[in-house]
Amino acid sequence: MTKQIKADLAILSITVVWGSSFVLLKNITGSIPFYAFLSLRFTVASVILCLIFHRAFRGIKPQAILHGSILGLMLFGGLALQYIGLEYTTASKSAFVTGLNVVMVPVFSAYILKKRPPFNAIAGVVLATAGLFILSGGFSKSWNKGDSLTLLCAICFALQIIFIDKFAAKTDARQLAVIQIISAAVFCSVLWLGYSLFQPTAFTMDNWVVTTILYTGAMGTALAFGVQTIAQKFTTPTRAALIIACEPVFGAIFAVTMPDRWGVTEILSLGTIVGCLLILSGMLVTEMKFKREISR
State the pLDDT at residue 156: 95
- Closest C-alpha to 167, from 155, 184, 179: 179
Per-residue HEC secondary structure of 85-149 comes to: HCCCCCHHHHHHHHHCHHHHHHHHHHHHHCCCCCHHHHHHHHHHHHHHHHHCCCCCCCCCHHHHH
State the pLDDT at residue 296: 35
Q: Which value, in Å, is the radius of gyration of the alpha carbons in the chain? A: 19
Q: How far apart are CA 5 and CA 45, in angstroms?
A: 26
Q: How far apart are CA 26 and CA 24, in angstroms?
A: 5
Give residues with Cβ within 8 angstroms of 173, minimum separation 6. Answer: 229, 230, 233
CA angle 15, 20, 22 (to 5 degrees): 105
Q: How far apart are CA 72 and CA 185, in angstroms?
A: 8
State the pLDDT at residue 289: 61
Q: How far apart are CA 164 and CA 113, in angstroms?
A: 11
Rounded to 5 degrees, what are φ and ψ at 86?
-65, -15
pTM of the model: 0.83
For the purposes of burial, counting CB atoms within 10 Å of the CB of 3, is it exposed (0-12), middle (13-18) or buried (19 or more)? Answer: exposed
Q: How far apart are CA 69 and CA 72, in angstroms?
A: 5
Written as tens digits, the pLDDT of the chain (296 aa) is 788 889 999 999 999 998 888 778 877 877 888 889 999 999 999 999 999 998 888 888 899 999 999 999 999 999 888 878 877 876 667 777 787 888 888 888 888 888 777 888 888 888 988 888 887 666 555 677 888 888 899 899 999 999 998 998 888 889 999 999 999 999 999 999 998 888 888 888 889 999 999 999 999 999 999 999 999 989 888 889 888 888 878 877 887 888 777 777 777 778 778 888 888 888 788 767 654 433 33
State the pLDDT at residue 86: 74
State the pLDDT at residue 136: 66
Domain boundaries, the chain: 3-287
Q: How many residues are present in the chain?
A: 296
State the pLDDT at residue 294: 32
How many Å from the N-terminal Cα to the C-terminal Cα in the chain?
Answer: 34
State the pLDDT at residue 295: 36
